[in-house]
Chain A
Amino acid sequence: MKIVYDENVAKAPASAEASSGGVATLTREEPVEKRHLLTAAQMAFFVTYGYLRVENLVPDELNQAVLEDERRWMGTKFDFWYLSENIRKVFELPQVKGLLQGFLGENPIFDHSFIHHVRAHNTGAQNWHADSIIDARPFGFDVQAFYWSHDAPVEMGPTMVLPGSHMRKINISSISRYKNFRGQLQMPIKAGTITFFHHGIWHCAQPNFTDTDRFVFKLRLRPGQEQVRLFNMDGYDSPEVLDILKKGSMPGDAPWQGDFDRLDSVQHARLWRFVTGDPKIDTSFETALSRMHLD
């Protein structure tokens, strides 16, 4: 897996530019070992809830090195990726590349990155929103990887998400009239964690009530190929994996969806068919897709 730079989208880091011509690459291409590849259970969770948190991905030493860089270059926004060799090392770890490859394929395209910073005692929250513009792809998706170099307990303001909102079409802050949703989720974070977001998930940065500044580094990647059967397919149709999706399609699992939760279950079931390449598998509520002979 190697991250690819399209010069019409974003420049490559200087070290990578020198190594190739039109399309610069970050690293030599090395095959991802199967044990590092995104699992079917992880993909099932992502398809159902629109995010995936994976802990213990990055060793402490590297977390510390990145944190020092974050403090040194806190205001550098889009440029942090280019300044910090350490942050690029995080995304060269085999266990990180395996997850990215499972979502996006062997050549994900660098979209943009950003160093997010919430100062100590900043008690204001960000409005609810989904990033970027309305996405018109029926099933294809970008992934936003949020890497945490330090612990972030909830009082420090790790990003809040609305599980299961990723297939709901909204435009940026068109939902921001609402301040709270039943089932909104703020996960406490341990250093070395990456949370992977589907581009469509509703989310908002949270207040930092502690004495310590909060950082998170975001890397947005586009798929480099069709996102079909890219993850470790072992057991994708097993009861254990299907249970993750079916639990998500049960009434009340995402209480903010109200009586429309059955529609969400159809959206997620269709996404599961897409990523597995299996046109018959059906995790929708009451297997509605099969019953009505729908794609």
Chain B
Amino acid sequence: MAQLRQQLLVFNTSNSSPESRVVAWALYDGALSQDKQQMQSGDSAEPPYRSVLAAMQDGWRVMQVPQMPIFVTGREFDTGHLPFEFVLERMVEVENSI
């Protein structure tokens, strides 16, 4: 019997638009068995989709849209984590296995 598993895409984009370019990414694939290797750091120079919208057009559902950054007076140029994080999911069927 087929069962459903979740796949997660974590994207960071160049600005807050889902049409903007993906600049950082990861795939966490709940359909891969534990003995299989997940996406590894540094293993790809190009993201699986150009933009969040392109992933949506391929069947991915958006779970999280980033809040706009807040710029505190006097600290406008502070930098840290990437600011525009989108999280997408897709459910896929896997063959039943224990």
A207 with B40: CB separation less than 8 A: yes
Q: Which residues of chain A are near B25, meaning CB under 8 Å?
A: 178-180
Interface residue total, chain A, C-beta cutoff 8 A: 35
Looking at chain B's contact residues, is the secondary structure mostly helix, strand, loop, or mixed?
Answer: loop
Kindly identify which residue among B12, B39, B76 contacts A258, using a CB–CB cutoff of 8 Å.
B12
A179 with B39: CB separation less than 8 A: yes
Interface residue total, chain B, C-beta cutoff 8 A: 31
Knowing A178-B25, A256-B23 are in contact, say whether A263-B42 is a contact too (CB < 8 A). no
Q: Which residues of chain B are near A174, meaning CB under 8 Å?
A: 81
Looking at chain A's contact residues, is the secondary structure mostly helix, strand, loop, or mixed?
Answer: loop
Interface centre among A184, A256, A259 (most CB of B within 10 A): A259
Task: Report the Cα distance A258→B66, complex, angstroms.
Answer: 15
Q: Which residues of chain A are near B84, meaning CB under 8 Å?
A: 258
Kindly identify which residue among A127, A182, A256, A258 contacts B41, using a CB–CB cutoff of 8 Å.
A127
Q: Which residues of chain B are near A267, meaning CB under 8 Å?
A: 77, 79
B41 with A259: CB separation less than 8 A: no
B73 contacts the other chain (Cβ, under 8 Å)? no
Kindly identify which residue among A124, A160, A169 contacts B37, using a CB–CB cutoff of 8 Å.
A124
B30 contacts the other chain (Cβ, under 8 Å)? no
Knowing A263-B77, A266-B77 are in contact, say whether A256-B82 is a contact too (CB < 8 A). yes
A257 with B41: CB separation less than 8 A: no
Task: Kindly list the 6 A-B residue pairs having the minimum CB-CB distance in the complex, ordered from nearest.
Answer: A258-B14, A179-B26, A125-B41, A125-B40, A169-B80, A266-B77
Contact residues of B with A, CB < 8 Å? 10, 12-15, 20-27, 37, 39-45, 47, 76-84
Contact residues of A with B, CB < 8 Å? 123-128, 160, 167-170, 174-182, 184, 186, 204, 206-207, 255-260, 263-264, 266-267
